[in-house]
Amino acid sequence: MGSVQAPKTLDPKGFSRLYINGEYVKSSSDRYLTLKNPKDNSLVSENVPIANEHDVDLAVKHAEAAFCGPWSKMTALARSGCLLKLADLLQDHLLAILTLDSLTSGNPVSLIPTRETTYIRNCLLYYSGWTDKLKGDYFPADDGFVKLVRQEPLGVCAAINPFNAPVATLILKAAPCLATGNVLIVKPSEKTPLGSLAMGAMFEKAGFPPGVIQVLSGDGSTGALLAKHMKIRKISFTGSVSTGKAIQVAAAQSNLKRVTLELGGKSPAIIFEDANIENALTWTVGAILARSGQVCVSATRVYVQESVAEEFIAEYTKRIAAAANDLGDPQDASVKLGPLVDETQFRRVRAIVERGKTEATLLVGGTRHGETGCYIEPAVFINPDIDAEVYKNEIFGPVAVIKTFRDEDDVLRLANDTEFGLMSGVFTKDISRALRVSSLLDTGVVGVNCVSYMNMQAPFGGRKQSGIGREFGEYALRAYTEPKTVLINMNA
């Protein structure tokens, strides 16, 4: 897809049912989500169900039947075929599904033909090639026993997904989960459930047996039911640190289900005096503006060496200020930046900015953009107190802070002084410095002359309170399997 085309229209009010066992079924719940378009707070839907305990139990029952039944009997090649067919089907349907999601996420439809479509398709193609390649081990019978180790699927898994990229995250979790022979129950964010509900039928059309993928809309109460369910063997969560902690507790108190947590970030970007300044500006500005700052890997802490600080800060601030002109209707294909996801997030970010004015110097932005909707102009603070909220906490909005530094030791102390450890970036032309600093940064991913970037082939995840486990690449596959050792007595 090279350009945004007029999509087939999907009626948001048409998604008033849960996707269970290959069909859309009425929920037994009497509670519903109210969804609004953040561009003007107009009503999008108020009939999306909040799945309850009965709905969750029903989905788990069908998931178990699928795992033990037709899905377990399909060959690895057949699983590859399903993933490949899904990728082909989405060529025709993904534009409409992502446009539907835009109604409540505020994500500009201009992202669809590039960031969204490419990411989703590449993920499916990548994992379709892995279904028959996750090998085990053989150890010789030097002691009279042959030792075989094989990787086996865990069984019924669950995914609890964030609001910022709901369909992309669904595919990111579903592809390795299904490639290894598991089944998956998906709970999208209560803020952005529509595209995920629409995706359910795509899996059936691609040849996945009923029950292999199921989608339950709901809020935190639905997620809690999944986290503590005794028949669910793995849960993958992307979201806030506080919710991630609650999920880990529920998993431990129930059946010790496996947990992968991809949580918050406060990513540092370090610009040394020898860096290509234009390249550093391109990456750091883009990293705070993507999805209006609602990205876990956003480069929200920018450290600039004192000798180039004046030049860098002037141009960085200029570009951030100009970005306010790109804010607009997310359903307009010419618009680059949309609103925050909802009124709650808008009020939260605005409050943090207001408090930040007492802790640091606000250089630009932070004000409401326009008279309606959840638009905030991208903001830049400079030299905040080390205990400032804008400096220490994840904001999840287009708000960056800049601090200057003297040397490597100084900036490493600043960059690592946080409970977050997801992503970082080092900008320098000195390869020795790049290798040295990247090894000392306490984050799961480090970019050299780039930041806020992920690659499907390499593991992605955080340290400290930014999460547990890894996604992407072969590492994600092993998160959905358990090694089984078989010992063969050769002297029997």
Catalytic center residues: 262
The tokens 């039947």 sit on which residue?
65
Q: Say if residues 401 and 389 touch (Cβ distance below 8 Å).
A: no
The tokens 């205990």 sit on which residue?
387
Cα–Cα–Cα angle for 433, 277, 434, rounded to 5 degrees:
15
Q: How many whole angstroms separate alpha carbon 165 and alpha carbon 143? A: 52
Q: How many whole angstroms separate alpha carbon 455 and alpha carbon 62? A: 34
Amino acid at site 425: G
Q: CA distances (Å), 398 to each of 190, 247, 483, in order?
A: 22, 28, 43
What is the phi/psi pair of residue 432, to 5°?
-65, -45
Region of 385 please: left (phi>0), alpha (psi -120 to 50) or beta: beta
Q: How many whole angstroms separate alpha carbon 371 and alpha carbon 197? A: 32
The SS3 of residue 365 is coil
How many residues make up the chain in this entry? Answer: 492
Give kind and range of the element (H or E) at residue 76: helix 76-105
Q: Say if residues 367 and 349 touch (Cβ distance below 8 Å).
A: no
Q: How many whole angstroms separate alpha carbon 108 and alpha carbon 99? A: 9
